Amino acid sequence: MNALAGISTRGRIRHNEPMSRHTSWRVGGPADIYFQPADVQDLADFLAGLDSATEIHWVGLGSNLLVRDGGLRGVVIATHRGLSNLERLDNGMVRAEAGVVCAKLAGQCARWKLGPAEFFAGIPGTVGGALAMNAGAFDGETWQQVTAVETVDRTGQIRTRQRFEFEVSYRHVKMPAVEWFVAGLFDFEEQADASVDGIRRLLARRKESQPIGLPSCGSVFRNPLDDHAARLIEASGMKGLRLGGAEVSGKHANFIINTGDATADDVERLINKIRNQVREEQGVELVAEVRIVGESLEN
């Protein structure tokens, strides 16, 4: 059955789209269908017409995503560009759609003299992904500023849900239903000292300790309580370890770098080796922040 039969859209549809073009690791096999909606309503209409058996995957900047080399079956929905509206509402309220880059949210809030929002500049993804995992940086977390969200379900129904409807913890958000984020409403305060220069200083500090600019997903593992994943990985002797084209960064051990010719399998094997070795040597079970999806080539 054709999953797109009868669907009319203003967005862009591609078939057999290499996900290596849409992930920050620059790896990943093809998506059967890759859809870029024109806006939120176009997305809702697309979902309403989609066959109910079709698997759905979501991608923003692909900065927290490992797509296996066999690719993704079903439909990949790309929020970046189409769901990109960012506006200031009353007082310190800001509405940002799921495809807004977090760094853009930080910069615009600085221009509006609103905060605390600088930490969003350290999140290498979009608002949708930040909402889904309570992403954070520079001692700030996404849901600290959330007052409400807008969601969509498989039938295309759009809802506004309040902050109290979600269970939020470190890098985890429990949804009240099978829905996906299309926008967040953030409550900021007037901050006279908010500035783009302040954001630049934070990013410069980050660049000193992290391999910014190289193909990675950011932090691979969550930090355990009262410890740091990078310290545990380095203490287990894996800083600089390489499998195929994937390498544990010599600058920050919680980063895995694509040195140029890595496959998704290289990256996943290295993730598993790190987890196993830290468990054996440090007695700590590391939990991945990165989402691993899709099929291996042997499948």
What interhelical angle do 196-209 and 102-111 show, nearest 10? 140
Element (H, E) at 41: helix 40-49
Non-local CB neighbours of 37 within 8 Å, separated by 6+ positions:
9, 10, 11, 43, 46, 77, 79, 82, 83
How far apart (Å, rounded) are the C-alpha atoms in residues 256 and 170?
A: 21
At 138, list the tokens: 């520079």
Non-local CB neighbours of 75 within 8 Å, separated by 6+ positions:
3, 31, 32, 33, 34, 35, 50, 54, 55, 56, 57
At 208, list the tokens: 């000193």
Residues with active-site annotation: 171, 219, 289
Categorise residue 74: left if φ over 0, alpha if ψ from -120 to 50, beta otherwise. left
- Which one, of 173, 182, 183, 165, lies nearest residue 133 by Cα? 173
Euclidean distance between the first and final Cα of the chain, in Å?
Answer: 22
Q: How many CA atoms within 13 Å lie on the side-chain side of 143?
A: 21
- Which one, of 254, 267, 256, 257, lies nearest residue 227 by Cα? 254
